[in-house]
Chain A
Amino acid sequence: MNTGTMHKNPLELAIRYGFLVLLGGLALFFSLYASGFASPRSAVFILQSVAITGILALGVTCTLVVGGFDLSIGSVATSALMLSAYSMVVLEQSAFVAVALCLVMGAVVGLINGFLIVKMRVPDLLATLGMMFLLIGLQRIPTQGNSIATGMSLGEGVVAEGTFSEAFLWLGRHRFDLFLDRLLPVPVVVFLLIALLIWLFLGYTRHGRLMYAIGSNERAAELVGTNVQRYKIVAYMISGMLASVGGILLAARLGRGDIASGNNLLLDSVAAALIGFAVLGAARPNAFGTAAGALFVGILLQGLTMMNAPYYMQDFVKGAVLVAALVFTFYLSSRRGGRRTA
């Protein structure tokens, strides 16, 4: 009832800015205590480490906005990784064809996910879980479960002669000059661009607004004349395409179709998107939050690594951050919400 005074309420301030203050505090702490942390190179390193995860997380954010979920993003990314390698190394195609194939593959997977969920009425978690398994298996079939690299045996004495083209590797390895020589890697630029686009799309276009409406009350959105099914399918297609962008960048960085790469992508990117709920007290999926969430995890891991924390601590730390962010989002925001409606 007394919403007018809410803005000065400390709880409200904590919910709104607590996470960003924490992010700043963390950066400050590591700058003081981890030597070499506060440098442009270190900052870029952090960005690079979260770029691919962040791109996937932005995709999953779109599905979260319409009240869905996409568990297949990790396997879409690794499928794109394998597909791009296969098309260049085995089929000897150009970088352009490889990228186009991957994007189409991501869009098609998203379309199928959306179709299963919207038309076949399979619950989102189950449909995308099924798709995840399917893709994990599918990506291994053409190479009998082997990684793809130039010179690999294709059976009967034939050897794969194609190579990763320079143009393709540029996507993963080129660094733009910015104040310093060779500072900004392409994936970071791509990540920042996509983050900006998704932020604008979700927050400031009518399509984004309708997607939030669908996530909040699907029936109401439908009854005001929104084509709910189309928006949901589009959300999954965005998710699939962004996941394959992530896979392309990963392939370009590795320079080979490594079957074992990208295991952590799904969990890390989902975590980033969920941590994003807590940013600015949004309590709902949002692009800015997702990017900040990815950055938060990156800063924390980089700082801890520079302070010589062992690598096996990483997942534990991520998990702890995620749980804290979820408590932040759901418990504190519900208390706020409760007061408002009382």
Chain B
Amino acid sequence: MPDVTCKLSGLEKSFGRNHVLRGIDLELRAGEVTALMGANGAGKSTLVKVLCGYHFADAGEIELAGAPFKPLDAADAISKGVVTVHQSIDDGVIPDLDVATNLTLDLLTEPGADFFVNDRKLRRQARKVAESMGLTMDVRTRVADLEVADRQMIAIARAMARAPKLLILDEPTSSLSASEADRLFALIDRLRAEGVAILYISHRMSDIRRVADRIVSMRDGAISGLFETEPLDYVGAVNAMLGHQMTEVDIDQVAGGDPILEVDGIRLFENGPQIDLTAREGEVVALTGLLGSGTTELAEVLFGLAKPAGGSLRLDGKAYTPKSAEDAVSKGVFMSPKDRSVNAVVPDFDIANNMTLPFLGAFSRFSFLSERGQRRAADDMIDKIGIVCQGNSDGINTLSGGNQQKVMIGRWLLQASRVLLLDEPFQGVDIGARRDIGHYIRQTAKGRTTLVFVAEIDEALEIADRIVVMHEAAIVGEYINKNVDLNRLVADVSGPASGQGKREAATQAMAG
């Protein structure tokens, strides 16, 4: 058994009356990747924040390499050997500076560093670091000009330059494509071989299958399952995280009525493949595909945020050429975008104002708002879609991710639409809220057509009547959501001959 790098015992943390961590006991060992799984609100982020010095624990102890570890702040945690790469990559790099400077930044802040910067020396040192991490780019490239994966590698490389004992990776693949993720995994393999203890936080079964030596499941602030005997029990881990066996959702598959939205030969880029699609009244169509497969780009075209490189759209039989979001909304095409905190949430507003934002015109007379009308509509939607809150005047940021997302979706259900586009509606949403949202979308699906853009196949299976698979800006498969042949579906998603086995297995585990 390898050495224990970090030992947590009886860790507790509360915010007010809310007990977020209820006694965590956990050992993280050198040269092992421990995957941490948990639904939203299980306490994963809080655990990470305690480890990296952002929060103090209320009770319990942490030992790092045998010595008590009580970081005063984030810098202290890093200097003692606990380094975290956070979910949002740009926290870890300085985008406007070049790779060399990013990799050697810590040398500049060291006591006794030279007053003048010797660029050539820095570049040499940076090249050494880059090589040791398997990075091949020119170190003079500006970080902002790199791809996401490279930026992330640099964030990790910076972290590694401090020779950490414990490396925490928080959802590192959330913005990576499959091949980019493979590079990250190769790097993790190397670090493991060097004897670093790694805590790997992720929702993605495929990642966890690839890298984990052991799995820890968290639920309601406590450890609900520890799996470390080969072969790892992935289904067990998922069950421990969710607290119940995942069952397939029963979909009353609907065929759909008249065509509402007709996509005719749309190309997402010059000389790209043509996309043809008909979305009918009353049906829910899921468009699924890996990151970069074109689902988001198609959604943007449909909502007037981007111009297609060719082809045409028809709405209710008439030509539809949306010029802007404003234009699309006025024609009855609504979209709930992905990344809600960036694209949807108005942090200064309360629930009612966030929800009614697109339709303020309907809540005002001679431009003067009817506050009562807004609040009544919000209360109504809070009931219908099941938002857990104290009232419609709660600040939006007091809500959990799932409830925020319910507000953002509910926003577009206040008024009838012809086409409802939902881009990643289940992003950062716990399983309960996901079910609520899916249920309500299906319940209200009559009278419009609904297109849902999701990367996860199980999410598509949970909500859609019809599943359309995209790969490299083309439609490569279409399935009626009834006894779907999962193997074929997964094969379509992965595209011709690329790591099918992994995705397939992952999907089966998630779909139970």
A-side residues, CB < 8 A to B, are: 1-4, 200, 204-207, 209-210, 212-213, 215-217, 219-227, 284, 337, 340-342
In the complex, are the beta carbons of B349 and A212 less than 8 A apart? yes
Which residue of the partner chain A has the closest CB to B348? A216
Evaluate whether A2 and B16 lie within 8 angstroms (CB atoms) in the complex, with A219-B343, A341-B397 already known. yes
B138 in the interface (beta carbon within 8 A): no
Interchain CB contact under 8 A, A221 and B357? yes
- Looking at the assembled complex, report how far the CB atom of B495 sits from the nearest CB atom of chain A, in whole angstroms: 30
Q: Does B108 contact A (CB under 8 A)?
A: no
Residue in B305, B345, B394 whose CB lies within 8 Å of A217 = B345
How near does chain A come to B384, taking the closest CB pair, in angstroms? Answer: 20
| A200–B369 alpha-carbon span in the complex (Å) | 10
Cβ-defined contact, B348 with A222, below 8 A: no
- Whether A223 and B353, one on each chain, are in contact in the complex, defined by CB atoms closer than 8 angstroms, is no
In the bound complex, residues from chain B placing their C-beta under 8 Å from that of A209 are 353, 357, 360, 369
Smallest beta-carbon distance B379→chain A, Å: 17
Give the contacting residue for A213; candidates B330, B342, B346; CB below 8 A: B346
The contact of B344 among A210, A215, A220, A226, by CB within 8 Å, is A220
- Cα A209 to Cα B353 in complex, Å, equals 9
- Given A1-B17, A206-B361, decide whether A217 and B330 contact each other with a Cβ distance below 8 A: no
- A205 and B364 within 8 A (CB): yes
Q: What residues of B have a CB within 8 angstroms of the CB of A217 in the complex?
A: 342, 344-347
Question: Is the Cβ of A210 less than 8 Å from the Cβ of B360?
Answer: yes
A216 proximity list for chain B (CB < 8 A): 346-349
Query: Cβ of B346 and Cβ of A220 under 8 Å apart?
Result: yes
Contact: A225 with B326, CB < 8 Å? yes
Q: Give 27 pairs: A residue, B residue, CB < 8 Å, sorted on A.
A: A1-B15, A1-B18, A1-B398, A3-B390, A3-B394, A4-B390, A205-B364, A205-B367, A207-B367, A209-B353, A209-B357, A209-B360, A210-B360, A212-B348, A213-B349, A213-B353, A217-B346, A219-B343, A220-B342, A220-B346, A221-B346, A223-B305, A224-B358, A225-B329, A340-B397, A340-B398, A342-B15
**Cβ of B328 under 8 Å from chain A:** yes
- CB closest residue in chain A, given B374: A209
Q: Mark B15-37, 1 if CB is under 8 A from A, else 0.
A: 11110000000000000000000
B50 CB, nearest partner CB in chain A, Å: 14
Whether A206 contacts B329 in the complex (CB less than 8 A), given A2-B17, A225-B358, comes out as no
Per the bound structure, the CA–CA distance linking A206 and B359 in Å amounts to 9
A284 in contact with B348 (CB, 8 Å): yes
Number of A-B contacts (CB under 8 A): 91
**Please, what's the 1-or-0 string for B363-381, where 1 marks a CB less than 8 Å from any CB in chain A?**
1100111000000000000
Chain B residues packing against A (C-beta within 8 Å): 15-18, 305, 324-326, 328-330, 335, 337, 342-349, 353, 357-358, 360-361, 363-364, 367-369, 390, 394-395, 397-398, 411
Minimum C-beta distance from B338 to chain A (A)? 11
Minimal beta-carbon separation of B408 from chain A (angstroms): 9
Q: Cα distance A215–B360 when bound, in Å?
A: 17
The distance from the CB of B446 to the nearest CB of chain A, in whole angstroms, is 23
A223-B344 contact given A204-B368, A205-B364, A341-B398, CB 8 Å threshold: yes
Tell me, in angstroms, the Cα distance from A217 to B337 when the chains sit together.
14
Question: In the complex the two chains form, what is the Cα distance from A331 to B12 in whole Å?
Answer: 28
- Residues on A with C-beta less than 8 A from B395 are 3, 340
- B343 near A220 with CB under 8 A, answer yes
CB of A175, distance to nearest CB on chain B (Å): 33
* Ranked 9 nearest A-B pairs via Cβ: A225-B329, A206-B360, A216-B348, A224-B358, A342-B15, A225-B326, A205-B367, A206-B364, A216-B346
Residues of chain B within 8 A of A341, CB atoms compared = 397-398
List B contacts of A213 (CB < 8 A).
346, 349, 353, 357
**Residue in chain A with minimal CB distance to B371:** A204
Task: Decide: B369 and A205 in contact? CB cutoff 8 A.
Answer: yes
| Pairwise interchain contact B326-A219, C-beta atoms closer than 8 A | no
Determine the distance from Cα of A2 to Cα of B16 in the docked complex, in whole angstroms.
Answer: 7
CB nearest neighbor in B for A230: B326
Smallest Cβ distance from A6 to chain B, in angstroms? 10
Q: Which residues of A contact B328 (CB under 8 A)?
A: 225
CA of A284 to CA of B349 in the docked complex: distance in angstroms? Answer: 11
Query: B411, A224: Cβ atoms under 8 Å?
Result: yes
Question: In the complex, what's the smallest C-beta–C-beta distance from A333 to chain B, in angstroms?
Answer: 11
Chain B residues, CB < 8 A from A223: 305, 325, 335, 337, 343-344
CB distance from A165 to the nearest CB of B (A): 36
User: What CA separation (Å) do A129 and B395 show in the bound complex?
Assistant: 35
Tell me the smallest distance from the CB of A191 to a CB of chain B, in Å.
23
Chain A residues near B397: list those with CB within 8 A: 337, 340-341
CA gap between A340 and B17 in the complex, in Å: 13
Find the B residue at minimum CB distance from A225: B329
Residue of A nearest to B412 (CB): A224
- Cα(A207)–Cα(B360), bound, Å: 9
CA A221 to CA B348, docked complex, whole Å: 12
| Cα A322 to Cα B328 with chains together (Å) | 44
Q: How distant is A284 from chain B, measured CB to nearest CB, in Å?
A: 6
CA distance A200 to B367 in the complex (A): 11
* Complexed CA–CA distance, A209 and B367 (Å): 10
- A227 CB, nearest partner CB in chain B, Å: 5
Q: In the assembly, what is the distance between CA of A204 and CA of B374, in Å?
A: 12
- In the complex, what distance in Å separates the CA atom of A225 from the CA atom of B398? 25
A3→B17 CA distance, assembly (Å): 11
Known: A206-B361, A219-B343, A341-B397. A224 touches B325 (CB 8 A): yes
Chain A residues in 8 Å Cβ range of B337? 223
* Residues of chain A within 8 A of B368, CB atoms compared: 200, 204-206
A215 to B326, CA, bound (A): 18
Assuming the A-B contacts A2-B16, A206-B360, A213-B357, are A222 and B349 also in contact, with contact meaning beta carbons closer than 8 angstroms in the complex? Answer: no
Distance in angstroms from A116 CB to nearest chain B CB is 21
Are A226 and B326 in touch, CB under 8 angstroms? yes
A2 → B minimal CB distance (Å)? 5
Q: How far is B49's CA from A342's CA once the two chains are assembled, in angstroms?
A: 12
The CA of A130 and the CA of B330, in the complex, are separated in Å by 38
Chain B proximity of A277: nearest CB distance (Å): 12
Which B residues touch A4, using CB under 8 A? Answer: 390
CB A245 to nearest CB in B, in angstroms, measures: 22
For A204, list chain B residues within 8 Å (CB): 368-369
Cα(A267)–Cα(B16), bound, Å: 42
Closest CB of chain B to A335's CB: distance in Å? 14
A143 CB, nearest partner CB in chain B, Å:
43
Nearest-neighbor residue (CB-CB) of A226 within chain B: B326
